Amino acid sequence: MVDKDAIRTRLWDRLERDGIARFPFPPHGRISNFDGARAAAERAMALPELASAAAVKANPDAPQLPLRRRLLKNRTTVYMAVPRLADAACFVELDPAELSDLDAAPTVSHMDDHGTRLGPDALPKLDAIVVGSVAVDASGARIGKGEGYSDLEYAILREFGLVDGDTTTVTTVHDTQVVEETLTTDAHDVPIDVVCTPTRTIRTDAGPKPAGIDWSALDEARREEIPILDRLAP
């Protein structure tokens, strides 16, 4: 069994030790920003799944900010989750046609100033999903920072019919975050279809994606803190 926490610590330590990490510091405990994030974003924008996308859900973390900005400048509407899904209107819509500042709008500190909060039933079908990662392997198995919100956001979107098993998932990471060992994942973990680094584009042989919410993986505290789950609970 691969120790996810050990892999996270190893990579966070390396990003810091080798001078790869970029603001915010320290890289530990987060989806770490990295040197080359803009180059990785340009590689991702060369993907037909993103270049032609009308609507994309993207994570709010720093290393994917260049990609969120490029999507908006490509006239793609971007949806970002409210932190910790703490509102029934748990996504923020950033419609480039309605924005005055395409650089500030997709930052986590300003998305509410520029965007509109919506519940999942007000979102369109999504063309792709952008995900942040701490580690990913060549098969598309991913490790996040350990809180599980990215996978839960996908599951909620799947429950509302906004994504399906063919919806492309993309992550941007530093080359050192593509690990050689085979990562073990749980049933609710969402695999990655395309990994973009500053130097490589890797199309994986990702397995099937979760069909919805794995209720057995949610404790009572998590259910109570996320209002949208009340509408979906069996």
Say yes or no to pLDDT of 2 above 80: no
Q: 217 to each of 43, 114, 214, how far by Cα in Å?
A: 34, 34, 6
Encode pLDDT of 172-205 as tens digits: 999 999 999 999 888 899 999 999 999 999 999 8
In single-letter form, the type of residue at position 65 comes to L
Say yes or no to pLDDT of 126 above 80: yes
The span from the CA of 43 to the CA of 50, in Å, is 10
- Token pair of 113 as six digits: 């100033």
Name the region of 29 (left: φ>0; alpha: ψ -120 to 50; beta: rest): left
pLDDT value, residue 49: 98
Encode pLDDT of 12-66 as tens digits: 999 999 999 999 999 999 999 999 999 999 999 999 999 999 999 999 999 999 9
pTM reported for the whole predicted model: 0.96
Say yes or no to pLDDT of 119 above 70: yes
Cis peptide leading into residue 106 (ω within 30°): no
CB 59 within 8 A of CB 130: yes
Say yes or no to pLDDT of 226 above 90: yes
The span from the CA of 91 to the CA of 79, in Å, is 6
Residue 78 forms beta bridges with which residues?
A: 56, 94
- CA 228 and chain centroid, separation: 19
3-state helix, strand, coil in the chain (%, to 5): 35, 15, 50
Say yes or no to pLDDT of 80 above 90: yes
Q: What is the mean pLDDT of the chain?
A: 96
What does residue 116 show for φ and ψ, rounded to 5 degrees?
A: -125, 130
Q: Please state the domain extents for the chain.
A: 34-229
What number of residues does the chain have?
A: 234
Say yes or no to pLDDT of 1 above 70: no
Q: Which CATH superfamily is domain 34-229 in?
A: NagB/RpiA/CoA transferase-like (3.40.50.10420)
- Token pair of 206 as six digits: 């990702």
CA end-to-end span of the chain, whole Å? Answer: 32
